[in-house]
Amino acid sequence: MTDTSQARDKLALAADLPLEDGLRLYQQVAPQVGYAKVGLSLFVEHGPAAVAAFQKLGARVFLDLKLHDIPNTVELAAARAGALGVSLLTVHAAGGEAMLKAAVKGAREGARAKGHEAPRVLAVTVLTSMSAEDVTAVGFSGAPDVAALRLARLAVGAGVDGLVCSPREAEAFRRELGPTPFLCTPGIRPAGAAKGDQSRAETPAFAVRAGADLLVVGRPIHTAADPLSAARSIAEEVFTA
Ligand SMILES: O=C(O)c1cc(=O)[nH]c(=O)n1[C@@H]1O[C@H](COP(=O)(O)O)[C@@H](O)[C@H]1O
C-alpha cells in the first residue's frame, strides 16, 4: 500500500456534523487528513469550544466563517479568530478591498496578541455550489471562471494569503496569479460520488493537477461506510496525481 501520510497537509475534513460526531470522524481519518474545517454550523452552536476541541486532537483548524461585512466589523471578528490559533480563516472576496485588508490586519494582530502564528486569510471567490445561471442571477458579470478570476485578483491585490475556488478555476488562478497564493478547493468528488449541492465539482486528482494546495472534503467521507478507507483512497489520488 502507498504511504499516503504525506497527503495529510493537503487534505481538510469539512466537519459539518454535530460536534461529537465530527470529533469522532476526525480521529478516524487523522492518519490521512491534517486539517479539520470548523464551519458555520459548528461555530454557531459551539463557538470557540469547537475550535479548541479539534486542536486538542492535533488538527490544524480551518475556521470557515466566510466573513462578509463592513471593514471594521470584519477586522474585529478576524482578530478574535486569529486569537484562537487557527491556521486558516475564510472571508468573502466580494466584500471588497477595504474589507479584505481589514481581515488580514485583524487576523495578524489577533494572532500576535496571543503569541500564535497568523492564520492564512483565504478569500472565497465564487461558491462551488453556484452554477453559471446562479452567477448571472446575483449580478456577477461573466461566466463563473471569469467572475472568480476577477475576485481572485482583487483579493490578492488586497493582500490575502490565499483563495478558495472550484478545482475548475485553480489552473487559471495559478497561471495568472503565480505560485504564491495558497489555493484551497472544496467541491471535491471522487469519481462516481454524489454531487449534492455542488455545481462545479471535480475529482481529487483533477484538483491537485490544477495546482490546489488544500482539498476540502466533507460528504464523500461522512457518508462512506468506511471513512478511513475513503480518506485513504482520496489521499492516494492526491499523492499520485
Ligand atoms: O469555503 C469553503 O470551504 C467552501 C467554499 C465553496 O465555494 N464551496 C464549499 O463547498 N465550501 C465548503 O466546503 C465544504 C464542502 O463539503 P462537501 O460538499 O460535503 O464536500 C463545505 O463545508 C462548504 O462550506
Query: Of 119, 95, 123, 122, whose CA–CA distance to 108 is shortest?
Result: 119
pTM for the full predicted model: 0.97
Residues, the chain: 241
Q: What is the pLDDT of residue 105?
A: 98
**157 C-alpha to ligand 1 centroid (Å):** 24
**Backbone torsions φ then ψ of 211, nearest 5 degrees:** 110, 15
Q: Is the pLDDT of residue 3 over 70?
A: no
Question: Can you tell me the distance from the alpha carbon of 228 to that of 232, in angstroms, rounded to the nearest whole number?
Answer: 6
Helices (H), 7-96: 19-29, 40-46, 48-56, 71-83
Express each pLDDT in 60-76 by its tens digit. Answer: 999 999 999 999 999 99
41 SS3 class? helix
Residue 7 pLDDT grade (very low, low, confident, very high; cuts 50, 70, 90): confident
Q: Whose CA is nearest to atom 12 of ligand 1?
A: 186
User: Which CATH number describes the domain made up of 5-240?
Assistant: 3.20.20.70
Q: Whose CA is nearest to atom 7 of ligand 1?
A: 127
Selecting among 10, 64, 101, 145, the annotated active-site residue is 64
- State the cell numbers at 81: 479568530
**What does the mean pLDDT of the chain come to?**
97
- Each domain of the chain, given as residue ranges in start order, spans 5-240
Question: Can you tell me the distance from the alpha carbon of 241 to that of 232, in angstroms, rounded to the nearest whole number?
Answer: 14
**221 C-alpha to ligand 1 centroid (Å):** 13
Q: Is the pLDDT of residue 5 over 80?
A: no
Q: Which atom of ligand 1 is nearest to the CA of 130?
A: 7
Indicate whether this complex's ipTM tops 0.95. Answer: yes
Q: Is the pLDDT of residue 1 over 60?
A: no
Q: What is the pLDDT of residue 187?
A: 97
Other beta carbons less than 10 A from residue 11's beta carbon = 23
For residues 128-147, one letter each, b for 16 or more C-beta atoms within 10 angstroms of the residue's C-beta and e for the rest, the string is: bbbeeeebeeeebeeebbeb
Q: Is the pLDDT of residue 151 over 70?
A: yes
CB-based contact 234:217 (threshold 8 Å): yes
Express each pLDDT in 19-50 by its tens digit. Answer: 999 999 999 999 999 999 999 999 999 999 99
Tell me, yes or no, if 66 is annotated catalytic.
Answer: yes
Our answer on whether the CB atom of 198 is closer than 6 Å to any ligand 1 atom is: yes
CB-based contact 25:13 (threshold 8 Å): yes
**216 C-alpha to ligand 1 centroid (Å):** 7
- In one-letter notation, the amino acid at residue 202 is E
